[in-house]
């Protein structure tokens, strides 16, 4: 069954624990994807002149989100710079699927101000460890 992004929630919390504090006024969330590195194990005498590999380490990727500006919330999130927190995205499906991981803010933009535009800002969180998907 198809879903839309409406009713998706984003939370943060103490690293290593459940993320339970909601980030309000979220406009969009992008989960960059989890990747696995590859380690070249090819030897000079490789059979069939073919490269061989081992799977490497998991890179949890990043979460980027855009938020409507609220001074108090911005100050709170800005205060998290260089601090690892837990982060969780709860999807709007009936099973309340979640994507969760610890991570730290690598970028928080300064809001752009224009006459007739909504004031928003972006945050990027680098995930650390293997993210957890629940369905």
The more confident residue out of 112 and 56 is 56
Instruction: Please choose, from the candidates 127, 47, 125, 135, the residue with its C-alpha nearest in 3D space to the C-alpha of residue 97.
Output: 135
Half-sphere exposure of 31 (CA within 13 A, CB side): 22
Domain boundaries, the chain: 26-36+55-134
Strands (E), the chain: 9-14, 21-23, 26-31, 35-40, 53-59, 62-68, 85-90, 98-108, 120-134
Q: What is the pLDDT of residues 68-83, one digit of tens each?
A: 999 999 999 999 999 9
Residue 40 has pLDDT above 70, yes or no: yes
The confidence score (pLDDT) of residue 1 equals 67
Q: Which CATH architecture has domain 26-36+55-134?
A: Roll (2.30)
What are the b/e assignments for 106-130, b being 16+ CB within 10 Å? eebeeeeeeeeeeebbbbbbbbeee
Query: What's this model's pTM, rounded to 2 decimal places?
Result: 0.91
């Amino acid at each position: 069954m198809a879903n839309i992004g409406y009713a998706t929630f984003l939370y943060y919390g103490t690293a290593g624990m459940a993320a339970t504090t909601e980030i309000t006024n979220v406009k969009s969330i992008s989960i960059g994807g989890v990747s696995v590195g590859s380690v070249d194990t090819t030897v000079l005498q490789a059979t069939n002149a073919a490269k061989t590999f081992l799977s490497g380490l998991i890179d949890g990727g990043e979460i980027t989100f855009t938020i409507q500006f609220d001074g108090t919330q911005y100050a709170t999130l800005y205060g998290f710079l260089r601090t690892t927190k837990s982060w969780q995205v709860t999807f709007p499906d009936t099973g309340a699927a979640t994507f969760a991981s610890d991570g730290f803010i690598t970028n928080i933009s300064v809001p752009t101000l224009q006459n007739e535009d909504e004031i928003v800002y972006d945050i990027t969180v680098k995930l650390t460890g293997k993210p957890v998907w629940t369905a």
